[in-house]
Amino acid sequence: MPGSRALRRDGLVVHRSGLEPDPADLANHNGLRVSSVPQMLIEQARHESLAELDRLITEAVRKRLLDLAVTEAALGRHARRPGVANLKHALRDYRPRRDRKSDLERAFDRLLAGTDIPEPQRNVIIDGWEIDCYWPVARLAVELDGRPYHVAVRDLERDRIKDAKLLRKGIRTMRVTDMRFRLDPEGVLADIRALPT
């Protein structure tokens, strides 16, 4: 709310600004102006830990409320606000990269380097489906399921359809999640070695 007087309302967190807020920083809920999701994250970033920011971002992604383009624009408008650097750090896996690779894809590339496992083809398109890593001789696909892109139910269902379509073509799919990679990278290598490549 624009203005300088600090009114209190039970059950509400009232934010005051000396200037009229940018319309993009606001949302409407039952006729009440409230902070947009990116603006809420920016407001919380000043006080919250990285773990709490991560939880808030994950909830927003699960509920399909995090629009990356809108969030990037908000980060640009509020670049000097306290906590924005922490928020950018918490958003690192969600923000676009020049080479379109996720942290998990980069880590997987490093894990394979120097092993006896042959180099896979990367980002191959088969029947309209993009495969992260593919060994054509073994007809083996490895999908790297980084959290930002595989948390919504619709995404999980799409993955299952993709796996079924590839299986019909004789291509086995092995999925590696962020957590599995962090906890058991050697096990990931052992699983790939167990399937002839």
54-105 per-position pLDDT tens digit = 889 888 877 778 887 888 899 999 999 899 999 998 887 676 555 556 778 8
Residue 150 confidence class, pLDDT cut points 50, 70, 90 = very low
Q: Label residue 28 by pLDDT band (50, 70, 90).
A: confident
Report, as an integer, the average pLDDT of 18-28. Answer: 77
> What is the structure's pLDDT at 54?
86
Which residues, 6 or more positions from 175, have their beta carbon under 8 angstroms from its beta carbon? 142, 143, 145, 159, 163
Output the average pLDDT for the chain: 83
Structural domains of the chain, ranges and CATH numbers in brackets: 23-90 (no CATH), 103-194 (3.40.960.10)
CA gap 44, 53 in Å, rounded: 8
- Hey, how many other C-beta atoms are within 10 angstroms of the C-beta on 135? 20
Confidence grade of residue 185 (pLDDT, cut at 50, 70, 90): very high
Mean pLDDT, residues 152-174 taken together: 85
Residue 167 has what pLDDT?
94
Tokens of residue 81, six digits:
């606000």
